[in-house]
Structure 1
Amino acid sequence: MTKLPQRILAVDALRGIAIAAMVLVNNPGSWSHVYAPMRHAQWHGWTLADLVFPFFIFIMGVSAALSLPKQVASGKSAIQVINQAAIRAGKLFSLGLLLALFYYNFHVVDYSWWHQQVVELRVFGVLQRLGLVFFITAVCVVWLSARMIAVMFLLLLVLYWGLMALMPYSDASGNVYQGLWNFGNSFAAWVDANLLGVSHVFYRSATPFAFDPEGILSTLPAVASGLLGVLAGKGIQQPATWLVKLNWLIVAGAVLTASGLLLEQVVPVNKALWTPSYVLLTGGLALFSLSALIWLLDVKQLICWAQPLIICGSNSIAFYLIAGVLARLLIIIPVGNSSLHGWIYNKGLVPIFGELNGSLAFAVIFFIVSFIPIWLMYRKNFFWKV
């Protein structure tokens, strides 16, 4: 075998790993009882859970590099492809907003859905970030060469570092800060607090600045993660043997991982701030993962074990939305003084498995229930394209 097939199963599988892990990590029985690998780092540092989001953005970049040039080659103009990308980005952003609106607290008699969910709507989130990153990435794929995309990747990291490290900013009391990477005290947090406002971010009680982990400024390095995926996608399309391609992925992964670990001595690895060291480290690990999956699935054709992952990856956004709606329904539906979520965990799982394993059991059961409609969609050959 001299080259890989046009449909690269490893791409669907890695996307499936990312979305499956996201559903598992986001839905424990209790946030107070979570195994360490499934718990995000408290601030600086990283766990397996912190690899999920950047892996998804990375593989989105790979997919863009594989699909968008084909659209141009089929006769569509660059503007048409970019317009379609803008529509898709808008849909992703809108779905994120709708998911944020989908909540009601029945335990509070005078609960105001309009005020809590609309007036104080959280503007950014996971799907919103995916939409923004996808659009910018698509523009780069259509209009820039691989060399220019590599330059853009480096420029985004340098620009973000420069703003975070060198730009002075001040709080309401007049205290001036510079170069901080703290919870609620960084230039990124200052930007979110001033442009989005306290009522429209995730960490509203952070001091001195409320901020969002998917906020405005940290979207820049998130785009860099997507561009890294584009470069990987362009690399695996080159006319070379599979051995050459895999060696390229492994060497690039080693260089990026080592660079991220070295840069960590100066700039901390931090998911919420999406620091440059975090981009390099997670990008390197994503390249390792992609190369391993290509070897197993596309070269050795060992596919059976990965079929559930391929199913997850083939309808990843639908999977995320189904899980998001189900999770909110379990919290919204009241059962006594608790919710259906709390009742299932405390009354059904804790007596059998205990608090920690019961929390894991809840996540696994939740995953299986969310997976069923995705599996049915796959069997019916229905793929929902946002």
Structure 2
Amino acid sequence: MKAERLLALDVLRGMTVVGMILVNNAGGKLSYESLRHSAWNGLTPCDLVFPFFLFIMGISTYFSLGKFRFRPSAGAVRKIVRRTLLILIIGWGIHWFGCACEGDFFPFGHLRLTGVLPRIALCYGAVSCLVLFVNHKYLGWIAGLLLGGYGVLLCLGNGYVPDTTNLLSVVDRALLEAGHLYPKSPVDPEGVLGTVPALAHTLIGFCCGRLLLREDVPEKNTLRLFVAGFMLMGIGFLLTEALPLNKRIWSPTFVGVTCGLAAMLQATLLYFIDLKGKKRWCRFFEVFGVNPLFLYVLSELAAIVLGATGGKSVVYAGIQALIADPYLASAAYAVMFTLLMGVFGEILYKKKIYIKL
């Protein structure tokens, strides 16, 4: 395939952003199982959203840095450093904004330093540097070594124990104060050590991007991507007896299964959208896919404001007056909130405004 913008990539990215917004904004305390993360071991549809985004970011990094011919020029390094720092600052800024809306304007002693955007920033920065300075034929091996070494650490360090004796928790608390970590669990789902397999995850996405742009017939590359995804998923499931699927610790099998599923879905979308021209159905997701970071950040800020002002309670009470089932009412609120974000996305899309870092 040519190194041009692929609509299917925007569509899958849009699907993940829609999923992020949907699962983060339930109306009430009760949610359908599919809209909740696994309590510990296991896999729900909700657990696929973040890993899919990292996989897509890996593919996008191949497209982006390909413009620099993967050479460590000053321009390429500046772009990587700038984007990494901006995503980090935005992530921390969202946490600060949440505290400020509660009257705590100087929460620097307990401002969460980990989180979704910080992990995205670290994965993007580290993987981008690797692909500039390391021969690409070694990247798959590096991903494998990272996952293998991490798997050994999990086995030796109580990695599957959901308490403070878990090695991930030990490392996080050794490097960061407890106030800077996820407060609702002894094991931070976006902690420091758990970023290691997430780096491997993003590297796998990069390798899949390289596979897509091979000098070959596009149909063959798409089929190769689907087969590679099937193999990754199969290996992941085969190893679950030794290393169960677990999003919170980002287990190696979780990486294999979710990367495999993402690759197969991406290949399927590429075949139908970009190769067969079946595009009419995907406008909604494309709107989210071309401005993913902006709409995600907007959703986080809007949710904070609605919660702090009581607007969420008022809207949800109105929904509950019409829908008695608390699960359905909670889901209805999440859908309405997501559609509202889509309205803003549609305005930007029509005006051809693409907000990038």
Instruction: Using structure 2 for the length normalisation, give the TM-score.
Output: 0.95
Deviations 1:213-256 (Å, cap 9, x if unpaired)? 11100001001111011011000000111221122112111111
Residue of structure 2 in register with 1:25 after alignment: 23
Residue of structure 2 in register with 1:202 after alignment: 182
Residue of structure 1 in register with 2:133 after alignment: 143
Residue of structure 2 in register with 1:170 after alignment: none
* CA 83–5 in structure 1, closer or farther in 2 if over 3 Å, else same: closer
Amino acid at match of 2:58: G
Q: CA deviation at 1:105?
A: 8.1
Residue 113, structure 1, aligned to residue 104, structure 2:
yes
Q: Structure 2: give runs of 5+ residues left out of the alignment.
A: none
Query: What is the alpha-carbon distance in structure 2 between the residues aligned to residue 380 and residue 247 of structure 1?
Result: 35
Tell me if structure 1 keeps the 8 A contact 2:143–2:203.
yes
Matches within 5 A, 1:26-41: 26-30=24-28, 32-41=29-38
Tell me if structure 2 keeps the 8 A contact 1:72–1:81.
no
Residue of structure 1 in register with 2:320 after alignment: 350
Deviates more, 1:324-333 or 1:136-145: 136-145
Query: What is the alpha-carbon distance in structure 2 between the residues aligned to residue 91 and residue 328 of structure 1?
Result: 21
Query: What is the alpha-carbon distance in structure 2 between the residues aligned to residue 89 and residue 260 of structure 1?
Result: 30
Deviates more, 1:97-106 or 1:324-333: 97-106
Deviations 1:309-367 (Å, cap 9, x if unpaired)? 1110100000101100000001110xxxxx2212211x201121121111111001101
Deviations 1:272-297 (Å, cap 9, x if unpaired)? 10010100000000011100110111
Residue 309, structure 1, aligned to residue 285, structure 2:
yes
Residue of structure 1 in register with 2:162 after alignment: 183
Matches within 5 A, 1:74-153: 77-104=72-99, 113-114=104-105, 117-153=107-143
Tell me if structure 2 keeps the 8 A contact 1:189–1:211.
yes
Deviates more, 1:298-307 or 1:157-166: 157-166
Q: CA deviation at 1:197?
A: 1.7
Query: What is the alpha-carbon distance in structure 1 between the residues aligned to residue 94 and residue 253 of structure 2?
Result: 31
Query: What is the alpha-carbon distance in structure 2 between the residues aligned to residue 251 and residue 112 of structure 1?
Result: 52
Amino acid at match of 2:160: W
Q: CA deviation at 1:182?
A: 1.8
Q: Which of 185, 188, 196 is 1:212 aligned to? A: 188
Q: CA deviation at 1:5?
A: 7.3
Query: What is the alpha-carbon distance in structure 1 between the residues aligned to residue 65 and residue 211 of structure 2?
Result: 15
Instruction: Using structure 1 for the length normalisation, give the TM-score.
Output: 0.88
Query: What is the alpha-carbon distance in structure 2 between the residues aligned to residue 97 and residue 5 of structure 1?
Result: 34
Matches within 5 A, 1:193-272: 193-203=173-183, 206=185, 210-272=186-248
Tell me if structure 1 keeps the 8 A contact 2:166–2:187.
no
Amino acid at match of 1:86: V
Q: CA deviation at 1:104?
A: 4.8
The SS at the match of 2:68 is helix
Tell me if structure 1 keeps the 8 A contact 2:3–2:63.
no
Residue 341, structure 1, aligned to residue 294, structure 2:
no
Query: What is the alpha-carbon distance in structure 2 between the residues aligned to residue 143 and residue 313 of structure 1?
Result: 29
Tell me if structure 2 keeps the 8 A contact 1:311–1:374.
yes
Query: What is the alpha-carbon distance in structure 2 between the residues aligned to residue 57 and residue 244 of structure 1?
Result: 24
Deviates more, 1:274-283 or 1:367-376: 367-376
The SS at the match of 2:98 is coil
Q: Structure 1: give runs of 5+ residues left out of the alignment.
A: 167-177, 334-338
Q: Which of 155, 180, 194 is 1:165 aligned to? A: 155
Query: What is the alpha-carbon distance in structure 2 between the residues aligned to residue 63 and residue 5 of structure 1?
Result: 11
The SS at the match of 1:113 is coil
Matches within 5 A, 1:287-302: 287-302=263-278
Residue of structure 2 in register with 1:192 after alignment: 172
* CA 268–203 in structure 1, closer or farther in 2 if over 3 Å, else same: farther
Q: CA deviation at 1:305?
A: 0.5
Query: What is the alpha-carbon distance in structure 1 between the residues aligned to residue 343 and residue 288 of structure 2?
Result: 10
Tell me if structure 2 keeps the 8 A contact 1:64–1:141.
no
Query: What is the alpha-carbon distance in structure 2 between the residues aligned to residue 250 and residue 158 of structure 1?
Result: 23
Q: CA deviation at 1:34?
A: 1.1
The SS at the match of 1:161 is helix
Query: What is the alpha-carbon distance in structure 2 between the residues aligned to residue 351 and residue 104 of structure 1?
Result: 31
Query: What is the alpha-carbon distance in structure 1 between the residues aligned to residue 196 and residue 177 of structure 2?
Result: 20
Query: What is the alpha-carbon distance in structure 2 between the residues aligned to residue 193 and residue 20 of structure 1?
Result: 33
